[in-house]
A and B are shown apart, each in its own frame.
Chain A
Amino acid sequence: MIEVKGLAHSFRVGKKGKETEVPVLKGLTLQAADGEIVSIVGRSGSGKSTLLHILAGFLQPDSGRVLVDGTDLTAMNEAQRAAYRLDHFGFVFQNFQLMPGLTAFENVELPLTLKGVPAAERRRKVEELLESTGLSDIRSHYPNELSGGQQQRVGIARALITEPPIIFADEPTGSLDSETEQDILLLIQSLNRTYGITFVIITHDDEVAAIADRTYRMHDGELAEGGLRHVI
């Protein structure tokens, strides 16, 4: 359960001394129930990524609160937020963000390593997950030896490995062709159904919004419930 209340954020831009405040988020409210796929759509530059960064705890908002299962993320310091992310969140990025020096297997293993899970248990879990996501064949490939779709599958597997209740995805299919996009969306849908994982997906793509249980539209720093379809 994610609840966002009165979230406002502005960036200071320009040269030092002559900065101007650019308000990006203007006191918005959002809710995501457990097991929902929530999509956030909006024009480029409307502040979608900024919102996600705040939800994920990468960025502290100027004001407002982000409650995850009743825990206020905005009241935590950096280290606490990092620890919280490790236990509760998974991330899927538009450009995959795999570690170039690690194999597919090691990339998926990384969050467990960070958590301090013993090596034997890590190996078992990763093998299981690679098997079920059809990645076993590419386990020893490095990211630059994988296609975009394969990389994103590895990225999703990495987000899943800690079995987090919530996965954030910023344009997860933004770098993929439409066929691969369909595969990924199906994977997300099945994970959502099978494990009840809550997804918060940012997109400007109809296809993505179509699998969402709830869609928010970002406009002018405000959030309105109701998807692209309603706007169009």
Chain B
Amino acid sequence: MSFKDQIAFVRQHIRRNRLRVFMTVLAATMGTAFLIVLASVGFGLHKTIKDEVLSNQMVTQVEVYSEELTDAKTDAMKKMDHVKAVVHRKQLAPTAFAELDGYTAGLNAYFTDFGEEATSGFKLAEGRFPEKPGEVVVGSGFAEQLIDEKATVKEGEELPTYKEALLGKTVTFKFEPLKEGAVSEEWPLKIVGIKEAPGKDWAFDGYLYMDDRLMPEMEKGLAAVSPEPEEGVEPDGFTYPQVNVYVDKLENVKSVTGALKDDGYSVYSVSEEIEQLDVFFLALKAGLVFVGTIAILIASIGIFNTMTMAVTERTREIGVMKALGAGPKLIQRLFIMESAWIGIVGTVIAVLISYGVSMVANAVLPVIVTAALGEDGADLGVTFSVIPWQLVLIASAISLGVAMISGWRPARKATKTDVIGALRHEL
């Protein structure tokens, strides 16, 4: 019997039992759609949280920690495969001040290499990168740190901060003298660029970014206003190192962090966090698929029932087919095809319904949640349900597999039909 004729034969039987097959398909559809929609919530949450993590930090950034981080070591890192840039910022340790038109700021400052910063993705909101050691970039919140300390204000009110444009102004840098009566050398620093504000509203950047070629000079200037270091006491460091390695592509982050770890560094990258996240969500999704599979198994009882009834009803016809010369394999195939048909149609409808439910959920749920939370809830940035093709594939495989397994026993029963008994069967 050709495959085409087998299909025609199965379709003819399905047409004769339209209502019963419809109800069975409905059950299979509901089970499969339940599985897909349930698991899609896992995929949606995963996507939401991953996007959140990725938006907070640069994915290709690897933070490197070590007891000692010297320029020689960071230069070696620059030569590693897939490394785009290595930014070695040195955070100023001693207390220092900046002054501008009578406003003073306690300084948080970095020495850095602007060439590396530029390739790593350091973005300016205004101006340009420094070209000479005397030029600097300031963070977007720098002006708020410049305070007029001599201004008189009422109790409880804050001192006024610098309100004018900073670009092109020259601030004066000096150390707090640690030695009685000493006066710190002063460095005029011209602001040529203003760093782009951090992505998050709550993040604040009041740093002063200086060229690291200034460092030796300033270190000497600090020494001049500091007491002689005591014998046997390790002097406080002038800077703390902060090293970030920037990898060319996301997929190479793993190999670079691996190489850095092999070299004895402690590293941190978002990709590691994402990896843990992935493991957690894989477990969650597997759990949801498992629960959904139970729904499909319940539907399979319907398929089993329908197919068993179909076999019983058609006992005489099976007998005639066998008498005419249909082999047991063919009989079995015809019945398995019938249950597979139920599975396929159920799955196809379920996939369509699931995409519909998923779209409606993503459109409607945020509105409801926002209404419930009031204005705070505006733009939650939450995706409730995502149906990737892998989920469709897994659900289809489970649904079809279960349909065929539940049709298998009735089909076996059909092949065992005794021809003589079946021909005697009254119907």
Contact = CB atoms under 8 A, between A and B. Distances in A.
Interface of A: 53, 56, 58-59, 78-79, 82-87, 89, 91, 93, 97-102, 110-111, 113-116, 118-119, 158
Interface in B1-52: 1-2, 5, 9, 12-13, 16
A93 B323 CA distance: 11
Interface residues of B, number: 24
23 contacts: A78-B327, A79-B328, A79-B329, A82-B325, A82-B326, A83-B327, A89-B325, A91-B323, A97-B423, A98-B320, A99-B317, A101-B317, A111-B324, A111-B325, A113-B9, A114-B1, A114-B321, A114-B324, A114-B326, A116-B1, A116-B5, A119-B5, A158-B324
A158 B319 CA distance: 15
A-B complex: 10 closest residue pairs judged by Cβ atoms? A86-B325, A85-B325, A82-B327, A58-B419, A79-B327, A97-B320, A113-B5, A82-B325, A116-B2, A114-B1
A18 to B, nearest CB: 22
Interface of B: 1-2, 5, 9, 12-13, 16, 316-317, 319-330, 419-420, 423
A82 B323 CA distance: 7
Given A58-B419, A101-B13, A91 B324 contact: yes
Contacts of B5: 113, 116, 119
Contacts of B2: 116, 118
B247 to A, nearest CB: 61
Nearest to B415: A78
B321 A58 contact: no
Contacts of A79: 327-329
Contacts of B322: 82
A113 B387 CA distance: 43
Chain A residues touching B, majority SS: helix
B416 to A, nearest CB: 10
A111 B323 CA distance: 10
A110 B304 CA distance: 28
Contacts of A116: 1-2, 5
Contacts of A113: 1, 5, 9
A37 to B, nearest CB: 21
Contacts of B16: 101
B323 A85 contact: yes
Given A89-B325, A114-B324, A115-B1, 17 more contacts: A53-B420, A56-B323, A59-B420, A79-B329, A82-B326, A83-B327, A86-B324, A86-B325, A87-B325, A91-B323, A91-B324, A97-B319, A97-B323, A110-B321, A114-B326, A114-B330, A116-B2
Nearest to B330: A114
Contact of A99 (B320, B330, B423): B320
A78 B324 contact: no
Contacts of B12: 101-102
A85 B324 contact: yes
Contacts of A93: 423
Contacts of B326: 82, 86, 114
Contacts of B320: 97-99
A120 to B, nearest CB: 12
Contacts of B13: 101
Given A99-B320, A101-B12, A101-B13, A114 B325 contact: yes
